[in-house]
Each structure stands twice: as C-alpha cells, then as structure tokens.
C-alpha cells in the first residue's frame, strides 16, 4: 500500500463524480471526502446569517453531516461562497491534510486536480451534458418532494456551471493530465468501472 496515494476527481454538479468517488474509495479501501460539502456547510452557515470567512475558518467535520446541505438553496449558496478567496484559503489545509492521510484518499470537487492536489497520483474529470445532469438532479429533487420544474433545475445547473468555470479563484477545469469520463450515456456501473480501471493502472 502506498502512503498518501491520492485520487482527485473533479467535475460539474450531477455528473456522477460523488457516486464514482465513493465507489472508487470503497473498492480500494481509501478514505473519501466530498469537498463540495465543505462549501455547502459554509453556504448553509451564511444563509443562517454567519460571515462566510468566519464560517470557513471554524468549520468542523460534524458540520458536514447535516442532511439539509443537499438542498438546491444551499447548493447555490455554496457556489457563491466558493468564489471568495479567503473562504478557499481557509478550507485548503483541511483538504490537503485529508489527501495526505496514510492508506490513500479520494477527494472529489471542482479544483482538486488543479489546485488542491496537483500532484495527485490519479486525476479524473467526470462530466456530462447540462441537460443530462439537470434531468438527474430534477429526478433526485422530485423524489424528495421539491417543486422545482425541470426548466428551473436546468437554469440552476447552467448558472452554477458558468459561475464555477468563470470564477477568478480556482476555476473549474480539467487538469492537463486528467482522464476525462463523460457519463452522459454511461450507466453508473460503466462509469465506476472506467474510474476503477484508471486508478488501478496507476497503482500497478
């Protein structure tokens, strides 16, 4: 077992990177961190009236376990606080410490391979068309009783894509040496298999 073997998985919302990351971590026995939850937790605190930078600086692991972090309102707040340089700086050490842990780690987010862990052993960029991702998110929200229309969800996805890709601090983009996995027409099983194959190739 290599100590500090890091897998960086980036990509836009609802592309499947979270599902793939959890599956890869489970397959190889690595720890997993959904870094988006860090920004969602900060966003939730901002919605509750707290200063964004202070919220980031005082974040604890328990803050990531709140079920309310998965709402679309918190997702939009997360995307807004993610453009704040002081927030990103406050969360940087948290993520890098996690990535360096013994036994291997999988981190998924939007700037893992480019900013957080540019020396990661494996970098994947998981994507899908905006329409496919909006349909997935719409189905997820509908199943939870949310009243958003497909058009609203698509608009949210496109707005978030633009904000994540155009921000000055750590814009979302594939690392130069990232392996691209487009899940638009892949089943979950196929996408996970591609990711596991890519990671295994780097471990052999």
Residue stretches of the annotated binding site for ATP:
11-19
Closest CA to 117 of 6, 3, 2, 4: 6
Closest CA to 2 of 146, 101, 150: 101
Instruction: Determine the Cα–Cα distance for residues 190 and 107; give it in Å rounded to an integer.
Output: 20
Which residues are within 8 A (CB) of 194 and not within 5 positions of it... i.e. 6 or more apart?
Answer: 181, 186
Number of Cα atoms under 13 Å in the Cβ half of residue 43: 23
CB distance 116 to 96 below 8 Å: yes
The tokens 């329409």 sit on which residue?
Answer: 131
Annotated binding site: 11-19
Beta-bridge partners for 8: 107, 123
């Amino acid at each position: 077992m290599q100590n500090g073997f890091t897998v960086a998985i980036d990509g836009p919302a609802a592309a499947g990177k979270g599902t793939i990351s959890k599956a890869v971590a489970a397959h190889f026995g690595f720890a997993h961190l959904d870094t988006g939850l860090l920004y969602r937790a900060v966003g939730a605190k901002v919605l509750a009236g707290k200063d964004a930078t202070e919220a980031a600086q005082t974040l604890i692991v328990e803050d990531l376990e709140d079920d309310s972090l998965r709402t679309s309102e918190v997702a939009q707040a997360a995307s807004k606080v993610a453009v704040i340089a002081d927030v990103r700086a406050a969360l940087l050490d948290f993520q890098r410490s996690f990535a360096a842990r013994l036994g291997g780690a999988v981190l998924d987010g939007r700037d893992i391979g480019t900013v957080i862990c540019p020396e990661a052993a494996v970098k994947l960029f998981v994507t899908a068309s905006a329409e496919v991702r909006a349909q997935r998110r719409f189905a997820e929200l509908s199943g939870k009783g949310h009243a958003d229309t497909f058009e609203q969800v698509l608009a949210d996805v496109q707005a978030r894509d633009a904000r994540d890709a155009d921000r000055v601090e750590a814009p979302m983009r594939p690392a130069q040496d990232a392996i691209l996995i487009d899940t638009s027409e892949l089943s979950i099983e196929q996408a996970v298999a591609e990711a596991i194959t890519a990671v295994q190739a780097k471990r052999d």
